[in-house]
Chains A and B, each alone.
Chain A
Amino acid sequence: MTGGKKEASDALDRLATALVDDVLTTSDAEILAEFREDGGDPDQHAAEMRALFERSVLASNKSRLKAAKAGVARAKASALSSTPVDMTKARELLHGVLKVLPEAQRLTLAARKESELSDSDVVGLLEDLRELGVAFPDDGTDGSN
């Protein structure tokens, strides 16, 4: 903004500030009289403004609801990923599942001895099996318990 324009624009801002100040300090009777003089109906205007406000409240509520839903989803996702796994149960489950799998799959999945599998290998294998569609009893390793 150039200096001249800034100066002129600031002058209009200062004028607006002073005029708003006057609006805020004008008595009820005067402000109502002015409004009527300009052809307005104060009650109708108030009703319109209230409706405008209620629309804003509604929009804000919708926005808050959306944010709350997103927050719940985030919290749920975080809880799922951080649920502790009982590794003894997980190893037992893997052992049981491997026993009932067809031999070809069993050989592939248990190329290493089960005892050599790390905890994360066990959990990873169970997740892989679930993704492959292998059904096994509720085991407490999927975080749903």
Chain B
Amino acid sequence: MQSGQEKAARSRDDIAKAVRELTPAEWIRLRKSAAFWAAERPISAKDLLQEAFARAMDGRVCPADVGIVKFLAQTMRSIASGEGEKIENKLLRVSAGASEAVAQKVLNFRDPAPGAEQQIVSEETVVEIRSAMLALFDDDPTAQVIAEGLMDGIDGEELRALCELDVTAYNSKRRLVRRRIEKAFPKGWLP
């Protein structure tokens, strides 16, 4: 019996069933989410998504009250965050048995020394990416404020108030920010 504090979790079969029932729109959301999480890291959106599937199938807990798209998006975020840390530490710590995808990566892994150094993004590059993104909105000061505010971690509601926009207008502007960034950086944010 489940205690009151324990949240019910989806079984492996439930997760698989939910994924198989995703609509085309939900698949696009997943792919786009993967692209954003992978944007600043040396992992492709497809690999990131596949690794999220592998972890979902290998026992990562999915609370029953969390939608499958959100769950997979969070899993990708967690993986991407780990990828970033690995590169920063110049270490590749993976369990070859974690999944087929990981095992394949390990098999294909080249000498880490030169590759990892190439993958480490310099401070200048990161700052340049940030500047290039903000420059996309030179013609739209409100969108630029939103982009900068999102980067600075300003709460959405506060940002909306700062820009003096209603909810609909704010959401529309945020969407414009996303679309411009998507189009300007179709292959991620790394050079």
Decide whether A and B assemble into one complex: yes
A residues engaging B (CB < 8 A)?
1-2, 4-5, 8-9, 11-20, 22-26, 28, 30-32, 34-35, 38, 40, 42-43, 45-46, 49-50, 52-53, 55-60, 62-63
- A residues near B50, Cβ cutoff 8 Å: 52, 55-56
Task: Please tell me if the beta carbons of B23 and A46 are within 8 angstroms of each other in the complex.
Answer: yes
Query: Which of B16, B97, B123, B183 is close to A57, meaning CB atoms less than 8 Å apart?
Result: B16
Task: Please tell me if the beta carbons of A49 and B31 are within 8 angstroms of each other in the complex.
Answer: yes
Task: With both chains docked as a complex, state the minimum distance between the C-beta of B16 and any C-beta of chain A, in angstroms.
Answer: 6
Q: A14-B152, A28-B25, A56-B50 are in contact. Are A8 and B101 (CB under 8 A)?
A: no
B105 interface residue per 8 A CB criterion: no
- Chosen A-B contacts, 21 in total, with CB atoms closer than 8 Å, are A1-B88, A5-B123, A12-B40, A13-B40, A14-B151, A19-B178, A23-B32, A23-B178, A26-B29, A28-B23, A31-B25, A32-B24, A42-B27, A43-B24, A50-B27, A52-B46, A52-B50, A56-B54, A57-B16, A60-B54, A60-B100
- B residues near A62, Cβ cutoff 8 Å: 100
CA distance A34 to B156 in the complex (A): 23
Task: Please tell me if the beta carbons of A60 and B178 are within 8 angstroms of each other in the complex.
Answer: no
Task: Please tell me if the beta carbons of B133 and A15 are within 8 angstroms of each other in the complex.
Answer: yes
Q: Which of B81, B122, B151, B153 has the most CB of A within 10 A?
A: B151
Task: Please tell me if the beta carbons of B29 and A31 are within 8 angstroms of each other in the complex.
Answer: yes
CA distance A10 to B40 in the complex (A): 10
For B, the interface residue count at a CB cutoff of 8 angstroms equals 60
B residues engaging A (CB < 8 A)?
16, 19-20, 22-25, 27-33, 36-37, 39-40, 46, 49-50, 53-54, 57-58, 69-70, 73, 77, 81, 84, 88, 97, 99-101, 121-123, 126-127, 129-130, 133, 147, 150-153, 156, 171, 174-175, 177-179, 181-183, 189
